Amino acid sequence: MDGFAPLTNGYAAMGYGVPGYGTLGSALVRRRLASSISCRGVGLHSGRTISLTLHPGPIGSGIIFHRSDLGLDIPAQHDLVVETRLCTQIGLPGDRAARVGTIEHVMAALAAAGIDDAVVELDGPEVPILDGSAAPFLFLIDCAGTAEHFAPRRIIEVLRHVRVEDSNGAFAELAPNTEFAFDAALTIDFGETAIGRQSLSLRVSVESFRRELADARTFTLAEDVARLRAAGLAQGGSLANAVVVDGPMILNPGGLRRPDEFVRHKLLDVVGDLALAGAPIAGRFSGHRSGHALNNELLRALFSDRANWRAVGNHAMADTSKLVAA
């Protein structure tokens, strides 16, 4: 990266839990939850009532999803993503039961709160949808509190432009930033509906995520609900946990939380999906109609060539497989 601001100020500007620290050294200290905290809620796609507990993670563990019903751990890594239809799902190779879905909202909250190491314990196949946003997870994190590990933290600096796209013109890309920060810009376009075309640009930090993105809810089109349920999806969906759009109308009695809640939620998803990089990203994200699939493809493209990125911290890393475990 060329032309970025001095590191002492740049890391603090980056967000991910570091605003308020005054030095580069403290910005690179890992953080975890100070205590465990639990909740229960319905799974959006399974319809099952699921218990979730956020635990402090061991030093250097990264984010790990623990399926207590199966007795196994699934690291939150981009190369373990096995499904991106309507949510991001991770799983262990060779075991179709060893999966956890709908992880993007809790991942976004953990990343925005600067949590490097945590165990997300679940007794079912997906993270509870709660109200459809990341705000309840931020509330849980606030209640649990955070603590410093006094272990080195690493930042992934984007060095070269990386772009992925699909046949319909949707794309997602990462590029070097002029400051040591994570900036994101996204445009969505849903044609002749109440959603329409919306755009949002944001420097993602703890404060901006909480203020601008956290309460934006997931959404769907009314015409798709029956089809999704027939396919065994959206079994737990309701107006209490999703915005439902029927042509020019919003079916939720309370309406929208913000006029552009749709693009805000899509950008929330970007934050959660890119958190599967295993460490905060310093770079610029741009996307047009990007979803979970392209977001994951973007990370795979970034890490496919070691010249695309470098790890900035107290110890350099040789490859991305060490991002979670190191």
Structural domain contains residue 38? yes
Tell me the per-residue pLDDT of 150-169, one tens digit each, with 9 for 90 and over: 788 899 999 999 999 999 99
Domain count, the chain: 1
For 107-129, letters b (16+ CB in 10 Å) and e give bbbbbbbbbbbbbbbbbbbbbbb
Is the model's pLDDT at 318 over the cut of 60? no
- CATH number for the domain including 108? 3.30.1700.10
Class of residue 89 by CB neighbours under 10 A (exposed 0-12, middle 13-18, buried 19+)? buried
Residue 13, pLDDT score: 35
Structural domain contains residue 244? yes
Structural domain contains residue 2? no
Residue 324, pLDDT score: 31
Question: For 149-153, 271-275, 302-306, which range has the lowest pLDDT when averaged over its residues?
Answer: 149-153
Is the model's pLDDT at 9 over the cut of 90? no
Is the model's pLDDT at 222 over the cut of 50? yes
Residue with the bigger pLDDT between 22 and 274: it is 274
Residues 6+ apart with CB under 8 A from 155: 11, 14, 28, 180, 279, 280, 281, 282, 311, 312, 313
pTM of the entire predicted model: 0.88
Structural domain contains residue 121? yes
Is the model's pLDDT at 53 over the cut of 80? yes
Structural domain contains residue 20? yes
Structural domain contains residue 1? no
Structural domain contains residue 304? yes
Percent pLDDT > 70 in the chain is 88
Structural domain contains residue 119? yes
Mean pLDDT of 42-59: 95
What is the span of the domain harbouring residue 202? 7-325
Identify whether 315 is a catalytic site residue. no
Q: What is the mean pLDDT of the chain?
A: 88
Cα–Cα distances (Å) from 213 to 129, 135, 254, 267, in that order, read 16, 9, 18, 7
Mean pLDDT of 245-269: 96
The answer to whether residues 167 and 294 touch, using CB atoms and an 8 Å cutoff, is no
Percent pLDDT > 90 in the chain is 76
End-to-end CA distance of the chain: 24
Annotated catalytic residue, options 66, 265, 292, 315: 292
Is the model's pLDDT at 119 over the cut of 50? yes
